[in-house]
Copies of this chain bind each other. A is one copy, B any other.
Amino acid sequence: MAVYRGNFLYTPALGQLKVVERGWLITENGLVRSLTQRQPAAAGPLTADFGDALVLPAFTDLHLHAPQLPNMGLGYSEGLGGWLERYTYPVEHRYADPGYAHQLNAALISQLRRYGSLHAVIMGSTSAAAAADLLEQYRRSGMWAYVGKMNSDYPGYGVQNEQTAPSIAETVQLAHRYGGPGRVRYAISPEFVPCCSDELMAALGQLARETGLPVHSHMSEGESDLQLVRRRFPREGCYAGVYARFGLMGSGPSVMAHCLTSPEEEIALLKQHGSFVAHCPVCSLDLAGSGLPPIRRYLNEGIPVGLGSDIAGGHTLNMMQVIVAAVQISKLVVQQKPQLSPLSEVEALYLATKGGGAFFGRVGSFEPGYSFDALVIDDRDLGQLSPLHLSPAQRLERFLYCGDDRHISRRYCAGRELTAL
């Protein structure tokens, strides 16, 4: 049992912020047992008192590309072709070198920890060895991650990244090696329909059905790739139709990044299969041009939504900046679609914690039974000289807009404090 005191803030439901000022949080075996305003009778000695700091559930980064870590902030005005050729492909290629991949994976885990993203859904390159290394390092980190080697065997954009048979064989092997329960698991990760053969998708779908492992892919990043899918699969007519046909949606948990231009039938399939949408708002701003996703619409439909940094399509791992971008984009969407209301900061925080966290299970909240994955926020240097007396909720809002990694003073995962970086 561990006993913590502090100002605890969490979002039990979309749009709800629960604040327990100077409350008592009890954990057992790394899980939250209770969070109360008054000291529980059964509480043992205090494990840690966080004083006047804010304590939040740790963030979930629901979509990012491991090999792209060195490319953040590069090439956003290049156009897709130049971006892929000058930046994306060279680093993906280099990531096939095991020694390099090992170093890069260590840096990635360290950076995600730094920004408080203690749960992450990560796509690798086509290299199975690099994905295995990332899974191994994550197992030692104490953090949560679903990681997959990317499958990409079809020259939808002219380049074939790998052969079908080894892609399947390597994936099956990894899926069985890292398929057990736990905080770190394999995620079946087809790049996206335009770069996957029918044979590959059928095999991965079968693997998903057999293992129940999560599936992680991209969906409807713009009108042009949607047209490509429509031409190749006229009967299915959209990404979701293709994924559903091959068992890549509906077999186990699935998460689809972007969904910028999902047609009605795709929205219906996402809903039917309970697939998560990984909303990547910083990427939508950095590579603006493909449209802004109607996240409120998805939420109204009951589709589960989380937030992703999508590095290096987005330029930052800082989930506070991702939250702010989600709010900003939602306001811009309202200008185009006045029937949709904007997201509040509290709603965007929900997406970054319990919303996306649900992909991992009972993660992203301080309700009983949830994994005690928490960030302690020391915001004393923000808003100095304010004549206002700010509530914890207002301080939270300010931290989301103005905070950075320097304000995250302690990190807990599954009840254990993560050591210094």
Q: A404 CA to B406 CA in the complex, in Å?
A: 12
Given A74-B397, A327-B76, A345-B77: A69 and B385 interface contact (C-beta under 8 Å)? yes
Shortest Cβ distance from A331 into B: residue: B288
Give the most central of A69, A71, A285: most B CB within 10 Å. Answer: A285
Q: How far is the CB of A347 from chain B (nearest CB, A)?
A: 10
Query: Which residues in B have their C-beta under 8 angstroms from that of A404?
Result: 404
- Decide if the interface of chain A is mainly helix, strand, loop or mixed: helix
A327-B77, A334-B289 known; A72+B345 contact, CB < 8 A: no
In the complex, A81 has a CB within 8 A of chain B: no
- 1/0 per residue, CB under 8 A from B, across A153-170: the answer is 000000000000000000
In this assembly, does A113 line the interface, its C-beta being within 8 Å of a C-beta of chain B? no
Q: Are B335 and A288 in contact (CB under 8 A)?
A: yes
Q: A77-B345, A402-B316, A404-B404 are in contact. Are A70 and B289 (CB under 8 A)?
A: no
Minimum CB distance partner of A292 in chain B: B332
**Given that A324-B315, A334-B289 are contacting pairs, would A90 and B388 also be in contact in the complex, using a CB cutoff of 8 Å?**
yes
Residue of B nearest to A77 (CB): B344
Q: How far is B385's CA from A91's CA once the two chains are assembled, in angstroms?
A: 10
Complex: chain B residue closest to A94, CB-CB: B387
Q: Does A233 contact B (CB under 8 A)?
A: no
Contact A342 B401 (CB under 8 A): no
A100 in contact with B387 (CB, 8 Å)? yes
Are A288 and B328 in contact (CB-based, < 8 A)? yes
Contact at A328–B285, with CB atoms within 8 Å?
yes
Docked-complex contact A74 and B398, CB < 8 angstroms: yes
Copies of this chain, count: 2
Please give the distance in Å from A68's CB to the nearest CB on chain B. Answer: 11
**Complex-state Cα separation, A90 to B286, whole angstroms:** 36
Residue contact B328 to A286, C-beta cutoff 8 Å: yes
Knowing A331-B289, A342-B77 touch, does A100 contact B385 (C-beta < 8 A)?
Answer: yes
**A387 CA to B385 CA in the complex, in Å?**
45
User: Contact between A315 and B70 (Cβ–Cβ < 8 Å)?
Assistant: no
Which B residue sits closest to A400, measured CB to CB? B73
Q: Name the B residues within 8 Å of A334 (CB-CB).
A: 288-289
A383 at the interface (CB under 8 A from B): yes
Q: With A324-B315, A335-B291 in contact, is A401–B90 under 8 Å at CB? A: no
Choose one: B72, B331, B384, B401; the contact of A383 (CB below 8 Å): B72
A-B contact pairs, 20 of them (CB 8 A): A70-B384, A70-B387, A71-B386, A72-B401, A73-B382, A73-B383, A74-B383, A76-B327, A76-B345, A87-B388, A103-B385, A107-B384, A285-B328, A285-B331, A287-B331, A288-B328, A288-B332, A288-B335, A289-B335, A316-B402
Q: A interface vs B, CB < 8 Å?
A: 69-77, 87, 90-91, 93-94, 100, 103-104, 107, 285-289, 291, 315-316, 324, 327-328, 331-332, 334-335, 342, 344-345, 382-388, 390, 394, 397-402, 404
The 10 closest A-B CB pairs, nearest first, are: A73-B401, A288-B331, A70-B386, A94-B387, A73-B398, A73-B402, A315-B401, A285-B328, A70-B383, A104-B385
